[in-house]
């Protein structure tokens, strides 16, 4: 039970980083920490006591397998997270070239 609480605490750590950090790259890294905590939570949900990895071997029969569906979902979600982070990094590089600094307090062109 305590591992699920730890996943949620990791999510809140990432959220704290997004809110309070000033450097743009640190905001991007905190966003990645939030998504990794979600993947960890998904992988832990499928665990059942005494199960083995879900690979079928016709030589020796096994009674109990761990649930393989969350593992497939996490694989898809990792690729989606890669695409999100890549696009965020490309926009950060262009912002640095236009504004000249990576501090979020300098980037306030839009108001109102």
Partner 1 sequence: MKGMTTIVKQTTKLIAGMIFMYGIYVIVHGHLTPGGGFAGGVIMAGSFILLILAYGSDFLKLLKEESGTTMYENLAMIVVLFLAVSGLLLGTHVFFLNWIPKGTVGHLVSAGILPLYNIFVGIEVAASIVTIFLALIIFKEEVSK
Partner 2 sequence: MNPLIPLLVVIPLAGAFLIMILGRFIRNFNKILASVVLLLLAIISFYFLFNTGDKISVYKVGGWEAVNSIPIGIYMVVDGFTAIILCIINLIGFLSVFYSISYIAKYTSEDFFYALFCLMIAGMNGVVASGDIFNIFVFLEISSISSYALVAFGVEKQQLEASFKYQVLGGLASFLILFAIGFLYWRTKTLNIADIRTALGSGGDRKFYIMAEIMLLTGFGLKAAIMPFHAWLPDAHSSAPSPISAMLSGVLIKAVGIYVIIRLFFNMFVINEEMAVLITALGTISMVIGVFLAIGQWDIKRLLAYHSISQMGYVVMSVGIGMILMSRGIRHEVATLAVTGGIFHLINHAAFKGLLFLNAGAIEYSTGTRDLKEMGGLAKSMPVTSATSFVASLSISGIPPFNGFFSKLIIIIAAVMAHFYLLAALAGIVSIITLASFLKFQRYAFYNKEPDKEKKEIREVPFPMLFSMIVLSIICLLLSLLVFPGIRETILTPATDILTDPSKYSTYIIGL
Binding range to partner 1, per CB under 8 A, among 14-22, 28-36, 40-48, 72-80? 72-80
Task: State phi, psi for 65 to the nearest 5 degrees.
Answer: -105, 155
Task: With H, G, I as helix, E, B as strand and everything else as coil, classify residue 106.
Answer: coil
- Least separation in angstroms between residue 105's CB and partner 1 is 23
The reply to whether 3 sits near partner 1 by the rule CB under 8 A is no
Matching residue, tokens 């950090």 = 21
Tokens for 36? Answer: 């990794």
Among partner 2, partner 1, none, partner that 91 touches (CB below 5 to 8 angstroms by kind): partner 2
Matching residue, tokens 């499928």 = 46
- Give contact residues for partner 1 (rule: CB under 8 A): 53, 55-58, 75, 78-79, 86, 89-90, 93-94, 97-98
């Amino acid at each position: 039970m305590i591992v699920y609480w730890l996943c949620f605490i990791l999510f809140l750590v990432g959220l704290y980083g997004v809110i309070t950090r000033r450097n743009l790259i640190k905001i991007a890294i905190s966003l990645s920490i939030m998504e990794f905590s979600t993947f960890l939570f998904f992988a832990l949900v499928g665990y059942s006591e005494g199960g083995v990895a879900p690979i079928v071997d016709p030589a020796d029969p096994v009674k109990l397998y761990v649930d393989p569906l969350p593992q497939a979902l996490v694989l898809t979600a990792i690729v989606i997270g890669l695409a999100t982070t890549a696009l965020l990094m490309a926009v950060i590089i262009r912002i640095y070239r236009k504004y000249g600094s990576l501090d979020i307090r300098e980037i306030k062109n839009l108001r109102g």
